[in-house]
Amino acid sequence: MNKKRVNRRQFIKGAAVSSVAVSLLPKVALGSYRKNSKMRIGVIGTGLRGQWHIKLALRREDVEIPVICDIDEQMIGMALSVYDDAERPHPKIYKNGEKDYQNLLQKEDLDGVIVATPWHWHAPMAVAAMESGKHVGVEVPAGLTENECWGLVRASEITGKFCMILENVCYRRDVIAVLNMVREGLFGELLHCQGGYQHDLRHVKFNDGQGPYGNGVEFGKKGFSEAKWRTQNSVDRNGDLYPTHGVGPVSTMLDINRGNRFVHLTSTATQTRGLHKYIVDQAGPDHPNASVKFRLGDIVTTVIKCANGQTVMLSHDTNSPRPYSLNFRVQGTRGLWMKDNNSIFIEGVSPEGHQWEPDEPYLEKYDHSLWKRFSGAKNVLSHTGHGGMDFFIVRAFLESIKRGVTPPIDVYDAVSMSVISPLSEKSIARGSTSVKFPDFTRGKWKTNKPIFALNDEY
């Protein structure tokens, strides 16, 4: 830690804790509340997702992003346009090769770092950020292997810096309203949840190297944006590659890592057809990519068992034509909610026995206080992506830094969600055998209390 950093931290400690609400939150104090000084945030990875985070963060007057890092000149240029639009001075840029982020972390005095790079960089960069004394907000998934997940936990525990996974769907208006319903006991005791990532990504995995979506069947060096690196995962790996959007929200409902935990899973994959078919359909059988062998089964079904008995079914379905759906279903001893038919049934509440009713009145009634508080603020929520949930995830990251508390989605959540991918790969490779989850909390899940979205703070 350099001298500048130490001085800055001493300065911050001088700020007074000013909010009674904050003191009521069951958070571990990591520092002190910051009233006057601006938070200094770095962004590593200024692709489309990183640009989005920059845009959201720069809307806040208490945030500055004095430094960014990427190795793609085009993406850096696009990021600078975001600064221009926000009428902010351009940042310092680290762009000298894949390891230049290490220079950024060592040299810069920052409160926190957002990591929005290709997946395989998430864990190494997040660990390095914490080791350099910075809190980190890392895009999904946080780690790709069990070892990477353990590395994140160790780094956070040793450094005292937090690692928040930026799992935005936890804040989606409907699922966080359903979380309210769960907490108020509407479903009784939870039994079974479903989630997943059912999203036709063929137009993301392939493009023409010029624009991100549609047109072309290129990937890797010839691809643009995510096609540059994401698609290779479909070549090399067979498993649930992207579990967090589906499992994040149900983790909060099931109190995972806080009274409950994932115990084991099985995964089963279908045959591999969609990506090859797409290449051939679009560019003919003679295109070089028509000979690429993809390993990823088109649909991967994962079933998780929880310590408290519940089951979670996840579907990963990204290679086939289909409407988008995160496959949510939340079921307990009194009833259930199902997103795909926008319906709910609660025994003793729903007017007709055995009959669905529309979920909309329930979603309105149980609208989360966070949404109630901020949904009226047009400047905050307009154009903030994914129906506003990105606003909340970035806000939670920044507010946790500002208040000096653990974030509402912490390193244990980051790894219990992310480790599903490597466990899923292992299960499939072994004929769908049952694979045990590591207990990343080392027993603390038994006594930890829920921390996510307990009120309208973050």
Q: Among 311, 369, 385, 439, which residue interacts with a second copy (rule: CB under 8 A)? A: 311
Task: Select 221 or 354, whichever has its Cβ closest to a second copy.
Answer: 354
Of 96, 34, 108, 99, nearest to 65 (Cα)?
108
Give the containing element (helix H, strand E) for 415.
helix 411-418
Q: What does DSSP assign to residue 142?
A: S
Task: Decide if residue 157 touches a second copy (CB under 8 A).
Answer: no
> What is the gyration radius of the CA atoms in the chain, in angstroms?
22
- Site size with a second copy, rule: CB under 8 A: 55
Q: Among 81, 106, 147, 433, which residue interacts with a second copy (rule: CB under 8 A)? A: 433
Q: Among 29, 280, 290, 338, which residue interacts with a second copy (rule: CB under 8 A)? A: 338
Q: Among 38, 264, 295, 386, which residue interacts with a second copy (rule: CB under 8 A)? A: 264
Q: How far is the CB of 258 from a second copy (least distance, A)?
A: 18
Rounded Cα distance between 358 and 452, Å, is 27
Amino acid at 87: E
Alpha helical stretches, state H, 132-229 = 146-159, 173-183, 202-205
Task: Select 17 or 338, whichever has its Cβ closest to a second copy.
Answer: 338
276, 206 in Cβ contact below 8 A?
no
Q: Among 5, 334, 386, 426, which residue interacts with a second copy (rule: CB under 8 A)? A: 334
Amino acid at 133: G
Rounded Cα distance between 17 and 30, Å, is 13
Task: Decide if residue 345 touches a second copy (CB under 8 A).
Answer: yes
Is the omega angle on the peptide bond into residue 407 within 30 degrees of 0, that is, cis? no
Pick out residues in 164-203 that bind a second copy (CB under 8 A). 188-189, 191-192, 200
Task: Decide if residue 308 touches a second copy (CB under 8 A).
Answer: yes
Task: Decide if residue 305 touches a second copy (CB under 8 A).
Answer: yes
Could you give the 3-state DSSP secondary structure of residue 201?
Answer: coil
142, 162 in Cβ contact below 8 A?
no
Rounded Cα distance between 17 and 22, Å, is 8
Task: Select 59 or 203, whichever has its Cβ closest to a second copy.
Answer: 203
**Segment interacting with a second copy, rule: CB under 8 A, options 5-13, 58-66, 244-252, 427-435:** 427-435
Task: Select 235 or 346, whichever has its Cβ closest to a second copy.
Answer: 346
Per-residue contact track with a second copy, 274 to 303, x per CB under 8 A?
x--x-------------------xxx-x-x
Cα diameter, the chain: 68
Task: Decide if residue 236 touches a second copy (CB under 8 A).
Answer: no
Task: Decide if residue 351 touches a second copy (CB under 8 A).
Answer: no
Q: How far is the CB of 247 from a second copy (least distance, A)?
A: 15
Q: How far is the CB of 15 from a second copy (least distance, A)?
A: 47
Q: Among 434, 438, 439, 454, which residue interacts with a second copy (rule: CB under 8 A)? A: 434
The strands making up 335-338's β-sheet, listed across from edge to edge, are: 357-358, 343-346, 335-338, 329-332, 190-198, 311-317, 299-306, 262-269, 435-436
Residue-wise DSSP of 5-61: HHHHHHHHHTSPP--HHHHHS---B-S---SSSPEEEEEE--SHHHHHHHHHHHTST
Q: How far is the CB of 285 from a second copy (least distance, A)?
A: 16
Q: What does DSSP assign to residue 252?
A: H
Pick out residues in 61-120 that bind a second copy (CB under 8 A). none
Alpha helical stretches, state H, 198-309 = 202-205, 230-236, 244-253, 274-283
Q: Among 32, 37, 145, 268, which residue interacts with a second copy (rule: CB under 8 A)? A: 268
Q: Among 354, 379, 447, 449, which residue interacts with a second copy (rule: CB under 8 A)? A: 354
**Segment interacting with a second copy, rule: CB under 8 A, options 21-29, 34-42, 352-360, 444-452:** 352-360
Q: How far is the CB of 137 from a second copy (least distance, A)?
A: 30
126, 101 in Cβ contact below 8 A?
no
**Segment interacting with a second copy, rule: CB under 8 A, options 4-12, 78-86, 105-113, 312-320:** 312-320
Task: Decide if residue 335 touches a second copy (CB under 8 A).
Answer: yes
Place of tokens 């649930």: 240
Q: Among 132, 225, 233, 331, which residue interacts with a second copy (rule: CB under 8 A)? A: 331
**Token digits for 303?**
């079933």
Residues that bind a second copy (CB under 8 A): 188-189, 191-192, 200, 264, 266, 268-274, 277, 297-299, 301, 303-305, 308-311, 313, 317, 320-324, 331-336, 338, 340-341, 343, 345-347, 353-356, 430-434
